[in-house]
Structure formats: structure tokens, C-alpha cells
Amino acid sequence: MPTIADLQLGQTATITECSSEAIPFKLLEMGCLPGNKVKLLQVAPFLDPLYLNIDDAFVAIRRDTAALICIEIDSNE
């Protein structure tokens, strides 16, 4: 199953699962929850971190954390 780490620049998706205990609680508070939309806005020069828009909140997360959050890529992409 694809994860946020698999998104291409500008691509949007819907979060399907983020149940790993390794995901910081702060991300869940900021909207990183199943059913919310996520869009990859920017990638840092060394490919880490990723800058995302998650349900209208702007978040920068490490690629290894992004790999724990499952998504369904929007079909119109």
C-alpha cells in the first residue's frame, strides 16, 4: 500500500491508515487522520523532510515517519 513518502510533488491523496505507535501524537492532533486529504508541497534539498498540506494544516515531517502513514492516491492525479 502506498504511503505519504511515495507521493510525487503536487500530488494529492487521502490518508487511509496511521495507526502506528511510531507516529508522533502531535501529527494526529494536526490532522494526520484517516479520511483527511494530504498534498506534497515541497521536498527539502536532501529529500528529507517533506513539506505537506494535511487538511489545511502545513506540516513538515521526516520521510521515515511519512512511510508509516498509508494513503490512497487521488484518481484524478
pLDDT tens-digit readout, 48-69 = 999 999 988 999 999 999 999 9
Half-sphere exposure of 18 (CA within 13 A, CB side): 26
Measured in degrees and rounded to the nearest 5, phi and psi for residue 14 equal: -115, 130
CA distance 56 to 17: 18
| pLDDT value for 35 | 93
| pLDDT value for 27 | 84
| pLDDT value for 77 | 55
CATH node for 4-73: 2.30.30.90
**Spans of all domains in the chain:** 4-73
The parts of the chain modelled with pLDDT lower than 50 are none
| pLDDT value for 18 | 81
